Amino acid sequence: MMPDSQFRTTTRHMLRESKTYASQTLMGGLSGFESPIGLDRRDRIAALKSGDIGFVHSWDINTSVDGPGTRMTVFMSGCPLRCQYCQNPDTWKMRDGKPVYLDAMIKKVDRYKDLFKATHGGITFSGGESMMQPAFVSRVFHAAKEMGVHTCLDTSGFLNTNYTDEMLDDIDLCLLDVKSGDEQTYHEVTGGLLQPTIDFGQRLAKAGKKIWVRFVLVPGLTDSEENVENVARICESFGDAVEHIDVLGFHQLGRPKWHELRIPYPLENQKGPNAATRERVANQFKDHGFTVY
């Protein structure tokens, strides 16, 4: 687990670093959670399945980053994808997270609920991949909704089938990564399949949920006009659910982690998009009628 002092550089998405949003960290790491030490392996697996515990990388309180208002963002451990531009390869393995009791997480939401209501904020689950532990996440969301707290799921949608329609009920907003517009590019970027993301976005739309799409712009990888057009068409298939699209320029803030973990880093010399490319891509989405940040 990384020291808290490094915490703010470990968010998996690039919004924090690539946008000029005001952001304030009040705390972070895994402070305040009792860990269920002593459970044997079989009990841990059963508790994970039921959602009685979740494996958590870290959490923080922030403003206007992972959804509206002041939010508690919980970074879950474990991810089935291997994105070339991942900022947090240290979240890939669930076993590297710390087990946290469901009740402890719900108490934490309860503690901040007045702050969330006053700022129109709430709780966001991120990762890693938040849908890798659907029982834990959905039970916390259900408790949050009972307290009147806004809920936001930050996900690639790759594990679409992990989330039941009933679980969708307790999501107010989804930050959905549409990492590329065709299967081949998506696979090159992530090692996974695109179709589950499309399916998940369409399910959210059908259920009347709101979506903020996130698209990471990497020169030579995701920036072709054709790829961007395909991403725009996928977003169109979500209809009115899409409130805006965040176009996030690639940057190198995640590079030290790949080095620390001794994982070969495919974007070692990537410099990120220039202003002209950013503008062209933003205009492509705007031409499809989307608001772009």
By CB under 6 A, name the one of 10, 11, 12, 16 that touches ligand SF4.
12
What is the DSSP secondary-structure string of 54-77? Answer: EEEEEEEEEESSSSSSEEEEEEES
For residues 1 and 118, which CB has a smaller minimum distance to ligand SF4 in the complex? 1
Q: How far is CA 286 from CA 148, 261, 289, in A?
A: 34, 39, 5
Q: How far apart are CA 243 and CA 57, in angstroms?
A: 29
Task: Tell me the closest approach of the beta carbon of residue 163 to ligand SF4, in angstroms.
Answer: 15
Question: How many Cα atoms are found within 13 Å in the side-chain-facing hemisphere of 95?
Answer: 2
Q: What residues form DSSP beta bridges with 210?
A: 173
The answer to the question of residue 280 lying near ligand SF4 (CB under 6 A) is no
Nearest 5°: phi and psi at 86?
-55, 135
The residues, any chain, with a CB within 8 Å of residue 22's CB and separated by 6 or more, are 63, 64
The answer to the question of residue 88 lying near ligand SF4 (CB under 6 A) is yes
Q: How far apart are CA 279 and CA 274, in angstroms?
A: 9
Site for ligand SF4 in 132-161 (CB under 6 A): 156
For residues 79 and 168, which CB has a smaller minimum distance to ligand SF4 in the complex? 79
For residues 48 and 79, which CB has a smaller minimum distance to ligand SF4 in the complex? 79
For residues 70 and 91, which CB has a smaller minimum distance to ligand SF4 in the complex? 91
By CB under 6 A, name the one of 128, 157, 249, 273 that touches ligand SF4.
128
The answer to the question of residue 127 lying near ligand SF4 (CB under 6 A) is yes
Site for ligand SF4 in 189-248 (CB under 6 A): 190
The answer to the question of residue 175 lying near ligand SF4 (CB under 6 A) is no
Q: Which tokens go with 154?
A: 């930050």
The answer to the question of residue 129 lying near ligand SF4 (CB under 6 A) is yes
Which stretch in 103-111, 122-130, 180-188, 282-290 sits in contact with ligand SF4 by CB under 6 A? 122-130
Question: How many Cα atoms are found within 13 Å in the side-chain-facing hemisphere of 19?
Answer: 19
For residues 149 and 216, which CB has a smaller minimum distance to ligand SF4 in the complex? 216
DSSP class of residue 5 equals G
Q: How far apart are CA 170 and CA 85, in angstroms?
A: 30
Task: Tell me the closest approach of the beta carbon of residue 216 to ligand SF4, in angstroms.
Answer: 8
The answer to the question of residue 86 lying near ligand SF4 (CB under 6 A) is yes
Contacts 24+ apart (CB under 8 A), 18-21: 18/248, 18/249, 18/251, 19/246, 19/248, 19/293, 21/64, 21/65
By CB under 6 A, name the one of 14, 65, 81, 218 that touches ligand SF4.
81
Number of residues that bind ligand SF4 (CB under 6 A): 13
Nearest 5°: phi and psi at 104?
-65, -40
The answer to the question of residue 180 lying near ligand SF4 (CB under 6 A) is no
Task: Tell me the closest approach of the beta carbon of residue 226 to ligand SF4, in angstroms.
Answer: 22
Which stretch in 17-25, 52-60, 68-76, 81-89 sits in contact with ligand SF4 by CB under 6 A? 81-89
Alpha helices, DSSP H, located in 9-164: 15-18, 41-50, 102-119, 134-146
**Which residues are near ligand SF4 by CB under 6 A?**
12, 79, 81-83, 86, 88, 91, 127-129, 156, 190
